[in-house]
Structure 1
Amino acid sequence: MNGPTRTPVAIVGGGPVGLMLALLLDRHGVPSTVFDTAEAPHRTPRGNTHNARTMEHYRRLGIATPIRALGLPGEHPTDIAYFTRYNGHELSRLPLPSRNTRMRRTGRAPATDQTPEPVHRANQMYVERFLAEHVRTRPRITLRLGRTVTGLRQEADRVTLRTEDPAGHVHDVAASYAVGCDGGRSFVRRTLGVHYEGPGSLGQEVLGRRATAAHLRLPTFHRDVMTGTRAWSYWAFNSALAMNLIALNGEDEFFLLTSSADPDRTGPGPLADLVRRAAGTPLPVEVLGHRPWTPGAALVAQRFTFGRVLLAGDAAHLFTPNGGFGMNTGVDDAANLAWKLAGVLHGWGGPGLLASYESERRPIAHRNTTAARELNAALGTVERPAALEEDGPAGTAARERVGDLLRCYGERTHSLGVQLGARYDGSPLVAEDGEPPADSWGTYIPSGVPGGRAPHLWLDSWHGQGSSLFDRFGTGWTLLRLGGRAPDSKPLEAAAQARGMPLTVLDVDLADGRDLYGRDLVLVRPDQHIAWRGDRPPTDPEELMARVTGSVAGTKGAA
């Protein structure tokens, strides 16, 4: 074994969070090396929802458009539909637009529409494959698939990782920082002696106890069973079973989630029989793979930051699937962490910059895991009486009652507040000014109060690439001068330059911009969250820049 190879950042885990962290670091000019035990990206289904904030992060990297082409065909509806059985009665349907319809609506949206990138449904296995291919085109990123991390040692100035390749050869890697993005069974977290905290399985029958996830091929499902309006998520919901079939490619591949099969005893044959029972007809079923799975958890690691080692994604928090918050929270972890690592490695970040990662992201993990668990619990309270499948008046009444409950539940799954409303109030990197809007999981209220995501604005009527305010933000910091009458910003620019901060100055003359942000000057962080705002430069611009880069302790007020 030769001496250790070196990398600024070692990323353990090559799933979507690890790959996104590498790509975001690359955008900031920081090389990294990604290690994953698997020799190829996963080819089994996992998460399906890429929420608006995650799509915005993809847009920053220039990959939102190709990712939006993955998954369902452009005109395939993304409805969530509930049936007694798939060839039986439809209980309820939450109509949701196809990919093409969403983008047509975005193209016609008003100037103050709050995201340039609406939610997209594409299974994680497709997106992970795309991200891995994209990573290979980036010279600053080294992707080591089939390389298992077997040891981790932290020293004053480095982290040394011991890795093993498929041939059994051992390689040591020295990194300035290491990030564990290695999932719910994280080697990094366990090596650090850190445990999850929070409630585990709910114990309810519908996705609240140990369950089975499976990858299926159903070649005749859409042709012979679901002959009406298609959906993205098909639920079978009756007294005997509860099952969710998620359309993957809009044709013949599906992702099955069910608590109606014992995950420790089931196999391809029993699973195929269960699907036929749910369908109400003997359709052909091919089980491509299956695994046990435990929904209902809301677990958060005791700590996210340990000197030069940090945790992100499922290694830091573990979700129930309802709401699709898990992977998306992990991608937002990566966005928060990437610029802070870059700031420290490039020399303009102070000692408090990386420490703020835990204080900013751990409360968001608690917020989002709680929201997902409550959604899961709400679904479990919906009754499934035997009368649901009866043809007489009792059956009609039962279906109407349960359908109403499912419609109410469906309305609760709208989660723009969770997607866009994460705030870092109280962070030492944020200069507080004003009262933030009340937190709401379902509703997002744009606000220029520091700590939140910068409100979005379309700058022209075309609504294409380059039309979004976010497209004009710099790779690093952005100083917005709003309303066409902003005061001289030279003191702020000079303070940033003296510290070595990458700063873009952007003039936005539209009145809507000044109205959204509430001040003439706004300092936006590299992760698109607001650090400071004011109608004039602060009396001590150098102190402000020291504060927002983690070089001094924060104080309240805009100075």
Structure 2
Amino acid sequence: MSTGQKTQHAAVAIVGGGPVGMMLALLLDHHGVPVVLFNSERNTRWHPKGNTHNSRTMEHYRRLGLAEAIRRLGLPEDHPRDVAYFTRLNAWELARLDMPSERERMAAARAAEDTDQVPEPLLRANQMYVERFLLEHIRTRPNIQLRFGWRVSGFEQDADGVRLIAVESASGEALEHWHADYLVGCDGGQSFVRRTLGIGYLGPDGSSGGFLSGRMFSSHVRVPALHRDILPDRKAWMYNVVAPDARMLLISLDGEDEFLLMTQARSHDEMPQDDRVIAAIRQGVGADVEVEVLAHAVWHGGLALVAERFSDRRVFLAGDATHLFSPTGGFGMNTGIDGAANLAWKLAAAVQGWAGEGLLASYELERRPVTLRNTEAARQLTQRVGKVEVPAAVEARGTEGDRARAQLGVSLRGFRGQFTSIGVELGARYDASPIVWQQGQPPEDDPLHYRPSTVPGGRLPHLWLPAGDGTRRSVFDLLGVGFTLLRVGPDAPSVERLREAAAARGIPLTVVELPAGARDCYRVALLLVRPDQHIGWRGDEVPEDAGAVLEKLVGHGCAVHPKEGQALVGVLGAVG
């Protein structure tokens, strides 16, 4: 790939400017790492996609100072976030899962106990709004070079880094040559980077699982009459039509007249057509309402695919390049962003010279099991939703219809876990990681419940602390960019040995003093928190060899050999 053209340099090159690629760029910028971000399109795609930014993702936004601004995107704060099920939108309501509005959710967070699980409740805002916001924010960041409208056409790696060629998408002629220390493919399910590396997906293709499986259409539509005339007093965030001859869902985007419509194709090769979308909406509404179709997209539901590997030497994969699963539960984008947070600090450590030889390999060892876990959670939810049995009499009047609707309503109310999977959101753990000290028994994994624990490997349990002016401050707001050592209570031991060991090794370490009351929550004197807010070590005393504690956490002495990595693929490869 040698040429006579000038070669530009960045520490990390990212291919793909979706939410995961942009968040990875921003997290690397947060660590002071120079980045170039390539995206084949000149702008973010203005088509509705994911709608849920879960509590863990909101914590990552908060770390970058973005959470408050992102909360202003999408639905008005007073718009109901309920999930409602109907036979037709102008007929019988079968069930309603009551959910707090944004205003109610934030009021509850402000009034919550000091040990409340999250500083940032989940947010319902469509991905297209958040992507555009992230792109505008990236334009202000000093460490990120934007190459939107440029497509990476090839790359090769060696011991010194990765060389790549980018082509201007519009002309197909202008070329740029780049050299990066590392390359990350965040370029989606059809990832060019993944395919170039020869890495495949493993798992079921979801071809037979009922609604939300197989070939699906997403349509961006405008239906002015829905909130204005049909449901003025029964608004929700998500509307599901469940009838013998109709299955569809509508998600409110702006609280007014714009919606995301999801319908299932009638055949494996059908393409979306405006007239069919209009007919589907009118069938689901039960009236000949005015419909404006703005755009379509085709996707494949019911997938439970995970990449067989997440890296190849200096090239890494993140986001949908590592996993493809149905949107049920809202786990996809959130899993990708949490993975980006894991990868970002490790790349920063490698670039800045304080990473051990096994640190970058730990990305796959930590994140692939979590991805498999989240994939399985989404698969189970999709199967439950897709295989709902709709009684033939559900639209009948009289006793028989009442009985059928009541029966179906009971089943539908059982789907609350699809929208309240706090255990999936916060419970990701790295218990088998070679860069985590194994100390104690981790809590049982439960997709619906989160059990805070200081056993190393899990996210630091959240705690509200007095700020001194009558307000409270999240413990997450006190964490440093690098590692953070929490001294819990005034009687915690001196940490000078750890501080000196970190300085000698160039490992960034912030020491934070917590008040005595924090001991009631954490029940330990010292907590060493990684840059991704997961606990790496805990103790009541500083070990004599404080350096050994730190060296394990940054990957010294735990190099992963190819044979071991291949064994991991064999053990974890089967999905479903």
* Aligned match of 2:39: 36
1:321-380: CA deviation from partner (whole Å, max 9, x where unpaired): 000000000000110001000011111111111000000000000000100010010112
1:208-240: CA deviation from partner (whole Å, max 9, x where unpaired): 221111100111110111132210000011000
**In structure 2, C-alpha distance between the alignment counterparts of 1:317 and 1:404, rounded to whole Å:** 33
Q: Which amino acid aligns with 2:174?
A: H
* Helix, strand or coil at the partner of 1:328: helix
* Aligned match of 1:517: 522
* Aligned match of 1:163: 166
**In structure 1, C-alpha distance between the alignment counterparts of 2:262 and 2:92, rounded to whole Å:** 20
* Aligned match of 2:251: 246
**In structure 2, C-alpha distance between the alignment counterparts of 1:266 and 1:13, rounded to whole Å:** 26
Deviation for aligned residue 1:256: 0.7
Deviation for aligned residue 1:261: 5.0
> Is 2:96 the counterpart of 1:93?
yes
**In structure 2, C-alpha distance between the alignment counterparts of 1:453 and 1:527, rounded to whole Å:** 8
Change over 3 Å in CA distance of 1:216–1:464 after alignment to 2? farther
**In structure 2, C-alpha distance between the alignment counterparts of 1:423 and 1:464, rounded to whole Å:** 34
1:140-198: CA deviation from partner (whole Å, max 9, x where unpaired): 10111110111011111110111100222121111000000000000000000110001
* Helix, strand or coil at the partner of 2:24: helix
Deviation for aligned residue 1:452: 0.1
* Aligned match of 1:140: 143
User: Which of 69, 79, 82 in structure 2 is aligned with 1:79?
Assistant: 82
CA contact (8 A) 1:348 1:500 kept: yes
* Aligned match of 2:572: none
> Is 2:446 the counterpart of 1:440?
yes
* Aligned match of 2:437: 431
CA contact (8 A) 1:212 1:261 kept: no
Out of 104-113 and 411-420, give the one that drifted further: 411-420
User: Which of 549, 553, 556 in structure 2 is aligned with 1:551?
Assistant: 556
* Aligned match of 1:504: 510
Aligned length: 553
* Correspondence 1:265-284 to 2 at 5 A: 265-284=271-290
Where does the alignment leave 5 or more consecutive residues of structure 2 unmatched? Answer: 560-576
* Correspondence 1:294-309 to 2 at 5 A: 294-309=300-315
CA contact (8 A) 1:74 1:100 kept: yes
1:426-462: CA deviation from partner (whole Å, max 9, x where unpaired): 1111011110000000100000000000000000289
* Aligned match of 1:124: 127
* Aligned match of 2:355: 349
> Is 2:180 the counterpart of 1:175?
yes
1:261-305: CA deviation from partner (whole Å, max 9, x where unpaired): 557243001110110010000000011111221111111001001
Out of 379-388 and 413-422, give the one that drifted further: 379-388
> Is 2:59 the counterpart of 1:53?
no
User: Which of 530, 534, 537 in structure 2 is aligned with 1:529?
Assistant: 534
Change over 3 Å in CA distance of 1:6–1:465 after alignment to 2? farther
Deviation for aligned residue 1:484: 2.1
User: Which of 390, 406, 409 in structure 2 is aligned with 1:384?
Assistant: 390
* Aligned match of 1:110: 113
User: Which of 374, 378, 401 in structure 1 is aligned with 2:380?
Assistant: 374
User: Which of 18, 22, 47 in structure 1 is aligned with 2:21?
Assistant: 18
Change over 3 Å in CA distance of 1:465–1:199 after alignment to 2? farther
* Aligned match of 2:571: none
> Is 2:194 the counterpart of 1:189?
yes
**In structure 1, C-alpha distance between the alignment counterparts of 2:32 and 2:214, rounded to whole Å:** 44
Deviation for aligned residue 1:514: 1.7
Q: Which amino acid aligns with 1:36?
A: N
The CA RMSD over aligned residues, in Å, is 1.5
CA contact (8 A) 1:205 1:259 kept: no
CA contact (8 A) 1:246 1:256 kept: yes
User: Which of 201, 204, 208 in structure 2 is aligned with 1:203?
Assistant: 208
Where does the alignment leave 5 or more consecutive residues of structure 1 unmatched? Answer: 555-559
CA contact (8 A) 1:202 1:377 kept: no
**In structure 2, C-alpha distance between the alignment counterparts of 1:313 and 1:463, rounded to whole Å:** 41
1:68-92: CA deviation from partner (whole Å, max 9, x where unpaired): 0001001001101000000010000
CA contact (8 A) 1:218 1:284 kept: yes
CA contact (8 A) 1:82 1:90 kept: yes
**In structure 2, C-alpha distance between the alignment counterparts of 1:45 and 1:411, rounded to whole Å:** 23
* Aligned match of 1:475: 481
Q: Percent identity?
A: 52
* Helix, strand or coil at the partner of 1:216: strand
CA contact (8 A) 1:216 1:254 kept: yes
Deviation for aligned residue 1:202: 4.8
Change over 3 Å in CA distance of 1:464–1:287 after alignment to 2? farther
**In structure 1, C-alpha distance between the alignment counterparts of 2:291 and 2:210, rounded to whole Å:** 24
Change over 3 Å in CA distance of 1:69–1:463 after alignment to 2? farther
**In structure 1, C-alpha distance between the alignment counterparts of 2:117 and 2:34, rounded to whole Å:** 33
Change over 3 Å in CA distance of 1:540–1:462 after alignment to 2? closer
Change over 3 Å in CA distance of 1:151–1:516 after alignment to 2? same
Deviation for aligned residue 1:495: 0.8
Q: Which amino acid aligns with 1:476?
A: G
* Aligned match of 2:567: none
**In structure 2, C-alpha distance between the alignment counterparts of 1:115 and 1:549, rounded to whole Å:** 27
* Helix, strand or coil at the partner of 2:452: coil
* Aligned match of 1:557: none
* Helix, strand or coil at the partner of 1:505: strand
> Is 2:495 the counterpart of 1:489?
yes
**In structure 2, C-alpha distance between the alignment counterparts of 1:405 and 1:483, rounded to whole Å:** 49
Out of 234-243 and 259-268, give the one that drifted further: 259-268
**In structure 2, C-alpha distance between the alignment counterparts of 1:250 and 1:462, rounded to whole Å:** 39
* Helix, strand or coil at the partner of 1:152: strand
* Helix, strand or coil at the partner of 1:474: coil
Deviation for aligned residue 1:35: 0.2
**In structure 2, C-alpha distance between the alignment counterparts of 1:225 and 1:136, rounded to whole Å:** 42
* TM-score of the aligned structures, taking structure 2 as reference length: 0.94
Change over 3 Å in CA distance of 1:413–1:72 after alignment to 2? closer
Change over 3 Å in CA distance of 1:406–1:481 after alignment to 2? same
Change over 3 Å in CA distance of 1:462–1:272 after alignment to 2? farther
Change over 3 Å in CA distance of 1:508–1:419 after alignment to 2? same
Q: Which amino acid aligns with 2:358?
A: G
> Is 2:404 the counterpart of 1:398?
yes
* Helix, strand or coil at the partner of 1:352: coil
